């Protein structure tokens, strides 16, 4: 410091040191400012954002599918007459089921009954006769409630003679106690319904002529999606189903029917076609019915999530990922393939998942978490 003219003037040496100070201070300050930002950025990179979630909703579904049904029958079996004369009355129509003892027609005013058991009759029977055909006649009389079943047997005795006379009086026939085999037309057990009639009123028939051709139980019944790809089978839920034929409903266990169900469904379809409830188109021994609807017997409660919430692994396992409140990784919940049915962007999942929180988009999860599905 120097004094000029008695005045104090500051030294200008600091101007020399200022650049050196700045060169040292600025980098240090920059580092101090940048380090926290870098640390925050690094933490942001290391932290994984929580996945978006959705809550499993509840839906009620009722399976409903229009179907075409093809019924295939075995070769027709002829039912022949034991009587000769003119058909004076016709009591059956095509498609009718044939019950044991039912009247098929009247020939010269004498009713001809269907016999669905035992053996065919080839002779008239009177007191003293014995044999399996006597057993057949006794069973028929018991079915007509004129003979106590306990008195049936292979011998034509007094009890059976009285039963024959009672049947003759009941039917308006001449009472002579002789069982006429012309009263019966043998219908094999396999014949369930009238296929096609071979007689009409006023037609003359001879012994051995065919009265009608009957069909046995269907050999197959096949369901196909109406209007779908040729042969496309419906995929109903694994639960009781109902076949709707106009105003009539027929319970079915599934779209694959057992022997007894086939007979029931075939009879229902034939009756529905006769009433115009369904349309029928025959070709050979097969008939295809259209206009039927296959539905679930009851409404089903299921869960529902967006289709994006369902993940399918490379092994084919289907999963949703349950989210947690603890921050732990979501856990995979595998779904049976039958439980998944996509409808309008939604997927049906088991009802026990309703209310659970699941990841909305599993593809946003890391590979390790996705690998738990399977």
Q: Report long-range pairs for 237-240 (Cβ below 8 Å, ≥24 apart).
A: 237/63, 237/296, 237/300, 237/338, 238/338, 239/296, 239/297, 239/298, 239/300, 240/296, 240/297, 240/298
86 and 204 share a domain?
A: yes
pLDDT score at 366: 92
285 and 242 share a domain?
A: yes
Strands 110-115 vs 184-186: parallel, antiparallel or unpaired: parallel
99 and 208 share a domain?
A: yes
pLDDT score at 40: 53
Would you say 161 and 48 are in contact if contact means Cβ atoms under 8 Å apart?
no
pLDDT score at 26: 53
Distance CA 79, CA 60 (A): 51
pLDDT score at 23: 52
Asked whether residue 191 is domain-assigned, the answer is yes
Distance CA 4, CA 1 (A): 10
Would you say 221 and 265 are in contact if contact means Cβ atoms under 8 Å apart?
yes
Domain final residue pick, 296, 318, 338? 296
How many CB atoms neighbour CB 250 within 10 A? 17
pLDDT band for position 18 (cuts 50, 70, 90): low
Q: Exposed, middle or buried by CB within 10 Å (0-12, 13-18, 19+), for 152?
A: buried
364 and 332 share a domain?
A: yes
pLDDT score at 5: 47
- Structural domain containing residue 362: 300-370
Would you say 225 and 234 are in contact if contact means Cβ atoms under 8 Å apart?
yes
82 and 210 share a domain?
A: yes
Would you say 187 and 116 are in contact if contact means Cβ atoms under 8 Å apart?
yes
Would you say 205 and 199 are in contact if contact means Cβ atoms under 8 Å apart?
yes
How many domains are contained in the chain?
A: 3
Q: What is the pLDDT of residues 93-103, one digit of tens each?
A: 887 888 888 99
306 and 276 share a domain?
A: no
pLDDT band for position 194 (cuts 50, 70, 90): confident
pLDDT band for position 363 (cuts 50, 70, 90): very high
pLDDT score at 346: 85
pLDDT band for position 29 (cuts 50, 70, 90): low
| CB burial readout 317-326, b (16+ within 10 A) else e | ebbbbbbeee
Mean pLDDT within 121-150: 92
CA distances to 19, 77, 90, 197, 206 from 209, in Å? 132, 13, 15, 12, 6
Domain final residue pick, 255, 271, 296? 296
Structural tokens at position 57:
């909703």
103 and 195 share a domain?
A: yes
99 and 149 share a domain?
A: yes
276 and 358 share a domain?
A: no
More confident of the two residues 31 and 268? 268
Domain final residue pick, 163, 185, 215? 215
Asked whether residue 97 is domain-assigned, the answer is yes
Asked whether residue 164 is domain-assigned, the answer is yes
Average pLDDT for the chain: 84
Asked whether residue 256 is domain-assigned, the answer is yes
Whole-model pTM: value is 0.51
245 and 287 share a domain?
A: yes
Distance CA 116, CA 187 (A): 5
Q: What is the pLDDT of residues 316-346, one digit of tens each?
A: 899 999 998 777 889 999 987 656 555 678 8
Q: Is 90 exceeded by the pLDDT of residue 253?
A: no
Q: Is 90 exceeded by the pLDDT of residue 19?
A: no
pLDDT score at 90: 94
pLDDT band for position 60 (cuts 50, 70, 90): confident
69 and 94 share a domain?
A: no
DSSP 252-321: ESSSS--HHHHHHHHHHHHHHHHTTSSEEEEETTEEEEEEEEEEESS-EEEEEEEGGG-EE-TTS-EEEE
Distance CA 325, CA 163 (A): 85
Distance CA 349, CA 336 (A): 9
Helix/strand/coil for 45: helix
| Maximum C-alpha span of the chain | 175
pLDDT score at 15: 52
Helix/strand/coil for 352: helix
148 and 265 share a domain?
A: no
């Amino acid at each position: 410091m120097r004094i000029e003219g008695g005045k104090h003037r500051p030294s200008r040496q600091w101007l020399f040191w200022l650049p050196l100070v700045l060169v040292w201070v600025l980098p240090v300050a920059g580092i101090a400012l940048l380090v926290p930002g870098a640390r925050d950025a690094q933490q942001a990179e290391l932290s994984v954002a929580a996945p978006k979630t959705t809550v499993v909703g509840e839906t009620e579904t009722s399976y409903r599918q229009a179907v075409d049904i093809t019924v295939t029958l075995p070769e027709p079996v002829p039912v022949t007459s034991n009587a000769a004369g003119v058909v004076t009355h016709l009591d059956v129509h095509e498609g009718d089921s044939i019950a044991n003892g039912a009247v098929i027609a009247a020939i010269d005013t004498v009713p001809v009954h269907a016999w669905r058991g035992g053996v065919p009759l080839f002779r008239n029977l009177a007191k003293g006769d014995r044999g399996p055909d006597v057993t057949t006649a006794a069973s028929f009389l018991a079915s007509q409630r004129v003979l106590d079943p306990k008195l049936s047997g292979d011998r034509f005795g007094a009890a059976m003679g009285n039963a024959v006379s009672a049947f003759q009086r009941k039917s308006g026939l001449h009472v002579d106690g002789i069982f006429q085999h012309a009263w019966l037309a043998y219908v094999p057990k396999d014949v369930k319904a009238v296929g096609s009639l071979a007689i009409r009123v006023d037609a003359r028939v001879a012994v051995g002529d065919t009265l009608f051709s009957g069909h046995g139980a269907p050999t197959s019944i096949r369901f196909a999606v109406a209007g779908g790809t040729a042969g496309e089978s419906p995929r109903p839920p694994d639960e009781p189903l109902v076949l709707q034929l106009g105003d009539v409903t027929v319970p079915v266990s599934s779209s694959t029917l057992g022997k007894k169900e086939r007979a029931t469904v075939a009879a229902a379809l034939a009756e529905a076609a006769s009433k115009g409830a369904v349309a029928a188109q025959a070709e050979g021994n097969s008939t295809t019915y259209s206009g039927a609807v296959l539905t679930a017997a009851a409404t089903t409660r299921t869960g529902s999530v967006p289709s994006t919430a369902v993940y399918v692994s490379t092994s084919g396992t289907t999963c949703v990922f349950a989210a947690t409140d603890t921050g732990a990784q979501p856990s995979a919940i595998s779904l049976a393939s039958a439980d998944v049915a996509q409808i309008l962007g939604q997927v049906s999942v088991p009802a026990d998942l309703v209310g659970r929180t699941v990841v909305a988009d599993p593809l946003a999860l890391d590979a390790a978490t996705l690998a738990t599905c399977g």
